[in-house]
Amino acid sequence: MDRQHGVFHQTTVESVALQHRSLSTTPTVVGSKRSISDVGNSAPADSSRRFHFQKASGVGREPPRLTASEISAIETASITHPSEYSQRNVLSATPTASADASLSLSFPRYALPEPLVKNLNGLGIKEIYPWQKHCLLGPGLLNGSKNLVYSAPTGGGKSLVADILMLKRILEDRDAKALLILPYVALVQEKVRWLRNIVQEIKKKPADIDKRDEKPRLWQKRADEDTVRVIGFFGGSKIRQTWSDFDIGVCTFEKANMLINSAIDDCNIRHLRAVVLDELHMVDDDQRGYLMELIATKLMSLEHSVQIVGMSATLANMETLSAWLDAHTYKTFYRPIPMEEHLVCEGKIYPASSTTSILRTATQLRQSSSNTLELDSQPVRTVQASQHKEFQDPVLNAVIALTNETARSNYGVLVFCSSRNGCETDARLISRVLPQANELESFVYEKRADLMGDLRSLSTGIDPILAETIMAGVAFHHAGMTTEERDLISTAYDNGALKVVVATCSLAAGINLPARRVILHNARMGRDLIGPSMLRQMRGRAGRKGKDEIGETYLCCRKTDLEDVIGLMNADLPQISSGLTTDKHHIQRALLEVVSIRLVNSRESIDEYIRKTLLSHSNTPDDIEEHVTSSLKDLRHMGFMTCDDDDSYVATQLGKAVVASSLEPEDGAFVHRELQRALQAFVMDGEMHILYTFTPVQVLNVSVNWQVFRTEMEALDSSGLRVMTFLGLKPTVVNRMAQGGNMKESTPAEREMARVYRRFYLALQLRDLCNELPVHAVARKYDMPRGTVQTLEQTCQGFGAGMIKFCEQMGWGAMAAILDHFSDRLRAGAKADLLALAKVTFIKSRTARVFYDNGFKTVASLANADPKELVPVLMQAQPIKLRNKSKDEQKYEEKLLAKAQVITDSANRIWQKEMQQDLDEE
């Protein structure tokens, strides 16, 4: 009889055991034929399984198959139980709405409109958890009079609470607006899709206007004026939305800060009713967290109240955050899916399924006679040693075996690695132990073949390693990939086409890919151990409600790291503190922004503003006074603000330009010096000077390949060489660096010149992108990941818009006009003659040139084309050409036909709009 495992669920281990028990074979003797009865009783062949015969010319090209090590159970091992994170250890079952009416979304006290409840039901949310009920019914939350800070484990349903509170504020007032702030672009895009599904067919509150006093409208009513409009704001977005274009804005930190600054400056902020700060623990992030602190502090300094909702899975000192935001707090450890946690060392799997068992395991460490740490506790299972030379490392062997066990049981696996190269290596090795294309069921084969076709149809083509792993159901996911590649991988994993995704640790918080089993290949990010918050983020991905009965995590480590890893697993979350003092430029930006947007204007009001920051709750008054005084002095010295005899602070024209362009004060001073020099002699007979001006200054930590720099420098025309001379760049320095020299950066002047060299190197890449060289070709040419090049391409668009605002604010209209004219080329990634075509969906860069050369030179020609006519052109634009007509290539052509249909539809919309404008002008 199967043992009961805490609750009525089945672990991956039990699934594997059941599969083995369900398989029966008829023993045969070598040299003997089976009897007729044996043949008759044998199971019929599965007609849904595909078998693919390989050409002789293809044999030997693929890497040889490998076999994963077996994992054997130890009978005497103690039985593990679900983690204490699950309420199921305490309650026999989670209450439902039938037992507690307040768990229903239609409960009168929540006052949610019927269309909203219907939409949530359609998305699978028919009732809420008890903790969500208790949280929502906290004092002053439903009516918006109180702020909220709460913490719940990943996968525990914390986002729904914030969504409900935000939507209530929006639906109370037709002019109300809300912002949802997230750290990463991928999360913004995902949340926009989710919220648009939630608000379908929901109408805003009617305008309260007496018809007798209603005046005729000058402009026609917008079609979406009565609906709830959800817009995403993030770097690289091509659409320039304004404050009046949305009801709910989903933003990255940077975009949210810029939106709020402009709304305060334009006096539109009065309509803002709610702001949600997701991943609130990032407020003390050294690089970007201080922006979240600036946003919240400015909101609390407004004359009207804005409900602030902050949430995270990893909040330690909630009391400090509650005091800062004057918020009600709520904390829960509830997870709808129970979790089992394990530690794997030297091929032995130990239970570590709760904080108490981790602590108990830590106390069992002892010093052995061999002067190495060992564990006294009994392992529950062991990973057998491998005979393959590739798997001699016990950590890698365990990762492969655990992944293989789960994927073959038809569950999803998420493997975290410390580096991009590690992701790709693990993905290749895992794919070699899993079933290959000729062993797949037909529907699985079709799904993966579709994914291969989608990846091939991208402008970058398919990555050779992905081409090797996809058909085995394995892929990797890291920042070196393009956005399109990562989106396709995420979607394929979510719909079951892929079973294994190997990702970098740094993407743990930036992706939403729940898995049955999460495996950590070491607990390091590079050479350093990951932090407790990052560890919880990764482990929290285990278990998916509606698809998994249980989540499993395995942390695989080396014996030398054992003590550090157990300490990490048992470590408390770090205390959250202000990020304003981690870098003096942070507090400088905070002060410059509030003075520029006229939120403060005296030392007294500045001190009052500082008292509302998290800084005032985490630093001593004397320390704060010193930071503020020195920062104000530096800002005046840099020319960003002035102070008169009455102690009144006013931002200068330069200070306002820095804030308008969303630059750090130090970056703003650098840009100002560069633009002032450019105004004296701007090189106009080429494009290098303009491109250099558009190159972001925030991403100058790039590694320069000086051999490539030298080659590109030698190929520059006279215009480009004049730009180098004008910027102070010396060919002798580039030659010395290409031969292995070192760049001097000991003095401020030397550091600034090194910055100019790095910026010019990035400008060379922008030049190639604007001249229709595809992203993958630029990446190969400059020895950089495709994702890094694409990020540069996207970042320069936002930075270019900032430069235009900077010039306009400074009164440099001619320079602003030059930059604005060239910004269209940056967005299109093409020369001026292709700008019209580049407005069409999927038509960009080299693809636009191929269409142009094939006679499709206008939007009208695309709008009137048959999609089938465009397929050969799209095939011509692909980096990989098809040479035969197998079934896979036919599916590839079908993908291109679907893309061609999207192109013609997009061209038709643009063409019709242009014709309507022409009629209006007549």
Q: H/E/C letters for each residue in 421-474?
A: HHHHHHHHHHHCCCCCHHHCEHHHHHHHHHHHHHHHCCCCCCCHHHHHHHHHCE
Pairing assessment for the beta strands 500-504 and 474-477 based on DSSP bridges? parallel
Mean pLDDT calculated for residue range 711-733 = 94
pLDDT at 716: 94
Q: How far apart are CA 336 and CA 325, in angstroms?
A: 29
Q: How confident is the model at residue 657 (pLDDT cuts 50, 70, 90)?
A: very high
Q: Whole-model pTM?
A: 0.83
Selected residue with higher pLDDT from 657 and 237: 657
427 burial level (CB within 10 Å; 0-12, 13-18, 19+): buried
pLDDT at 363: 52
What is the total residue count of the chain? 922
Q: What is the maximum span of the chain, computed from C-alpha positions, in angstroms?
A: 108
- pLDDT for 238 beyond 50: no
Selected residue with higher pLDDT from 541 and 356: 541
Work out the angle at residue 377's Cα, subtended by the Cα atoms of residues 371 and 378, and round it to the nearest 5 degrees: 115
Q: How confident is the model at residue 819 (pLDDT cuts 50, 70, 90)?
A: confident
Q: How far apart are CA 85 and CA 543, in angstroms?
A: 12
Q: How far apart are CA 265 and CA 245, in angstroms?
A: 18
Residue from 369, 397, 403 nearest 383 by CA: 397
Q: How far apart are CA 55 and CA 59, in angstroms?
A: 7
Residues paired with residue 602 on neighbouring β-strands, in sequence order: 648
Determine the 3-state secondary structure of 147 from DSSP. Answer: strand
pLDDT tens per residue, range 121-137: 998 898 999 999 999 99
DSSP 413: E
Selected residue with higher pLDDT from 891 and 69: 69
H or E stretch covering 323: helix 318-325
Q: How far apart are CA 243 and CA 258, in angstroms?
A: 11
Q: Is the dihedral of CA 290, 329, 509, 275 positive or negative?
A: negative
pLDDT tens per residue, range 169-185: 999 988 899 999 998 88
Mean pLDDT calculated for residue range 607-619 = 92
Residues in CB range of 899: below 8 A, 6 or more apart: 457, 842, 874
Selected residue with higher pLDDT from 352 and 670: 670
Residues paired with residue 251 on neighbouring β-strands, in sequence order: 181, 233
Query: How many of the other CB atoms lie within 10 Å of CB of 496?
Result: 14
Mean pLDDT calculated for residue range 102-108 = 91
pLDDT at 194: 92
Q: Are 69 and 384 in contact (CB under 8 A)?
A: yes
Q: How far apart are CA 174 and CA 209, in angstroms?
A: 12
Q: How confident is the model at residue 3 (pLDDT cuts 50, 70, 90)?
A: very low
- pLDDT for 692 beyond 80: yes
Mean pLDDT calculated for residue range 425-448 = 91
- pLDDT for 287 beyond 90: no
Query: Which pair of tokens denotes residue 461?
Result: 């083509």
- List the single range of 90-99, 122-131, 501-510 with lowest mean pLDDT: 90-99
- List the single range of 385-399, 436-450, 579-593, 819-833 with lowest mean pLDDT: 819-833
- pLDDT for 9 beyond 60: no
Determine the 3-state secondary structure of 887 from DSSP. Answer: helix
Q: How confident is the model at residue 250 (pLDDT cuts 50, 70, 90)?
A: very high
Query: Which pair of tokens denotes residue 519?
Result: 């495996």
Determine the 3-state secondary structure of 375 from DSSP. Answer: strand
DSSP 203: B
H or E stretch covering 517: strand 517-521
pLDDT at 219: 53
Mean pLDDT calculated for residue range 425-436 = 94
pLDDT at 392: 92
In angstroms, the Cα distances linking 706 to 12, 82, 458, 731, 737 are: 51, 55, 30, 11, 6
pLDDT at 474: 96
Q: How far apart are CA 551 and CA 549, in angstroms?
A: 7
Q: How far apart are CA 307 and CA 708, in angstroms?
A: 52
Q: How far apart are CA 350 and CA 554, in angstroms?
A: 9
Q: How confident is the model at residue 505 (pLDDT cuts 50, 70, 90)?
A: confident
Q: How confident is the model at residue 546 (pLDDT cuts 50, 70, 90)?
A: low
- List the single range of 109-123, 254-268, 761-775, 890-904 with lowest mean pLDDT: 890-904
- pLDDT for 48 beyond 50: no
- pLDDT for 592 beyond 80: yes
Selected residue with higher pLDDT from 637 and 34: 637
Residues in CB range of 326: below 8 A, 6 or more apart: 147, 300
- List the single range of 706-715, 882-891, 913-922 with lowest mean pLDDT: 882-891
Mean pLDDT calculated for residue range 623-647 = 91
Mark out the alpha helices in 561-620 (DSSP H runs).
562-569, 584-596, 603-611, 615-618
Q: How far apart are CA 216 and CA 826, in angstroms?
A: 42
Pairing assessment for the beta strands 147-151 and 307-312 based on DSSP bridges? parallel
Mean pLDDT calculated for residue range 850-855 = 90
Q: How far apart are CA 542 and CA 676, in angstroms?
A: 54
Q: Are 414 and 513 in contact (CB under 8 A)?
A: yes
Q: What are phi and psi of 476, to 5 degrees?
A: -115, 165
Determine the 3-state secondary structure of 642 from DSSP. Answer: strand
Selected residue with higher pLDDT from 92 and 133: 133
Query: Which pair of tokens denotes residue 210?
Result: 């007496």
pLDDT at 291: 94
Kindly provide the b/e burial profile for residues 584-623, where b requires at least 16 CB atoms within 10 angstroms of the residue's own CB.
ebbbbbbbbbbbbbebbeeeebbeebbebbbbbbbbeeee
Q: How far apart are CA 351 and CA 6, in angstroms?
A: 15
pLDDT at 590: 94
pLDDT tens per residue, range 748-807: 899 899 999 999 999 999 999 888 888 888 999 998 888 888 888 888 888 888 899 999
Q: Is the dihedral of CA 120, 122, 126, 128 positive or negative?
A: negative
DSSP-based helix, strand, coil % in the chain, nearest 5: 50, 10, 40
Mean pLDDT calculated for residue range 572-593 = 86
Query: How many of the other CB atoms lie within 10 Å of CB of 514?
Result: 23
Q: What are phi and psi of 16, to 5 degrees?
A: -65, -45
User: To the nearest whole number, what is the mean pLDDT of the chain?
Assistant: 82
Selected residue with higher pLDDT from 430 and 206: 430
pLDDT at 43: 41
pLDDT at 921: 66
Query: Which pair of tokens denotes residue 339?
Result: 């979790």
pLDDT at 375: 56
Query: How many of the other CB atoms lie within 10 Å of CB of 673?
Result: 11
Q: How confident is the model at residue 332 (pLDDT cuts 50, 70, 90)?
A: very high
pLDDT at 531: 83
Mean pLDDT calculated for residue range 33-58 = 43
pLDDT at 28: 39
Q: How confident is the model at residue 354 (pLDDT cuts 50, 70, 90)?
A: very low
- pLDDT for 742 beyond 80: yes
Q: How confident is the model at residue 920 (pLDDT cuts 50, 70, 90)?
A: low
- pLDDT for 211 beyond 60: no
56 burial level (CB within 10 Å; 0-12, 13-18, 19+): exposed
Q: Is the dihedral of CA 476, 482, 485, 490 positive or negative?
A: positive
Q: Are 179 and 310 in contact (CB under 8 A)?
A: no
- pLDDT for 204 beyond 60: yes
Residues in CB range of 662: below 8 A, 6 or more apart: 254, 257, 258, 802
Q: How far apart are CA 293 and CA 283, in angstroms?
A: 6
Q: Are 390 and 379 in contact (CB under 8 A)?
A: no
Selected residue with higher pLDDT from 158 and 370: 158
Looking at the chain, the whole-number percentage of residues with pLDDT higher than 90 is: 42
Measure CA of the first residue to CA of the last residue in the chain; give whole Å: 84
Query: How many of the other CB atoms lie within 10 Å of CB of 507?
Result: 19
pLDDT at 92: 40
Query: Which pair of tokens denotes residue 429?
Result: 């090795």
Kindly provide the b/e burial profile for residues 408-419, where b requires at least 16 CB atoms within 10 angstroms of the residue's own CB.
bbebbbbbbbbe
pLDDT at 155: 80
Query: Which pair of tokens denotes residue 642?
Result: 């002035």
